[in-house]
Amino acid sequence: MSAIGEPLILDPAAWSDTLRQRAERTRGDNTPLRWSAMLDRLAEGRLMPASIGRPWQRGIHFSMHMFRTTILAALLRRPLVYLSWGIGHHRGLRRRVACMIMRRARVVLVNDDRTADEVRSLAGVEPRKVPYLVDTEYYTYSPPHAREDFLFCPGENDRDGEVILALAERGNRVVWLNNVPEVAARFAGRSAQLELVSSLSFVELRDLYRQCRAVVTPMARDIHAAGQTTTLEALASGSAVVIGAGRTADLFAGDGLVTVVSSNDPAVWEQAIENAVASDRADPGLSAARAALVAERNGVAAVSATLRDVFGSVVRGRQS
């Protein structure tokens, strides 16, 4: 019997990630624990892929995406736990399908308050908020005095590349992790101070978090909590984080974990970065406290406990 009472049935993306993380563990790769590996622990290895051809397989479906297997599980009213990252940007049939899935799911999970409001208003469902995961035993704390003089933008998803470029043009060395070639091509060679990198190993990514002066995340749009994972990884590593206003910033601003910028003016960004870095250097205990709070709230133990309770409630509901 698994820790949650029944096997978990994963959507194609989660199943693929499970196989990838199992292979990493077999090889002994130096990588962090992510969602699928955490679910693997909770289910004590009793995971299986969702299948259109086997819709009645016993277990609890878990999905973060609107795959055909997710839609079928909802239509057949199979026990489904669905994690939503926002539906307000969906239109037409896609929105109707998303709302159908959430209305038929046993539990709808969200990570941020804006998505929770969308789920309530559009689907008429009361979601359960669950903290997002970061492996704080992997992304470990580095103090302000140990850092180098460069800014790091970890990712291209909904990032405002023009602000990133403008910061580089103002003389700031910026390293931008960008794994989308067509996006990277638009900015390549436009500033000697902008270094575009891609396909980093987890060790290389961790080193950048631990070495950078600050992590910057200017946002081009706000349709889901883009940058949530990278912000948690940065905070766990002790980085000062300066982020554009939006639902991701809202996750952290209330606890003073990030500096929020409501402008695309690079001068405003530059000043916010300088203020955040100066504050951390004046009192290194600030960054250490941020890292400790993230470990307490978003570490493996905390998120596992929440999900164990979620899946347990589904199992108990089936037994009653």
pLDDT at 155 over 60: yes
Quick: pLDDT tens for 273-305.
999 999 999 999 999 999 999 999 999 999 999
- Over the chain, what is the mean pLDDT? 93
Q: Each residue of 227-262: pLDDT tens digit?
A: 899 999 999 999 999 999 998 899 899 899 999 999
The whole-angstrom separation of Cα 239 and Cα 53 is 47
Relative orientation angle of helices 228-236 and 202-211, to the nearest 10 degrees: 60
Per CATH, the architecture of 144-296 is what?
A: 3-Layer(aba) Sandwich (3.40)
Partners of residue 196 on adjacent β-strands: 176
Predicted TM-score (pTM) of this structure: 0.92
> What are the residue ranges spanned by the domains of the chain?
8-133+300-319, 144-296
Select the CATH number that applies to the domain covering 8-133+300-319 from these four: 3.40.50, 1.10.1740, 3.40.1520, 1.10.3470. 3.40.50
pLDDT at 5: 80
Are 248 and 217 contacting, i.e. CB atoms less than 8 angstroms apart? Answer: yes
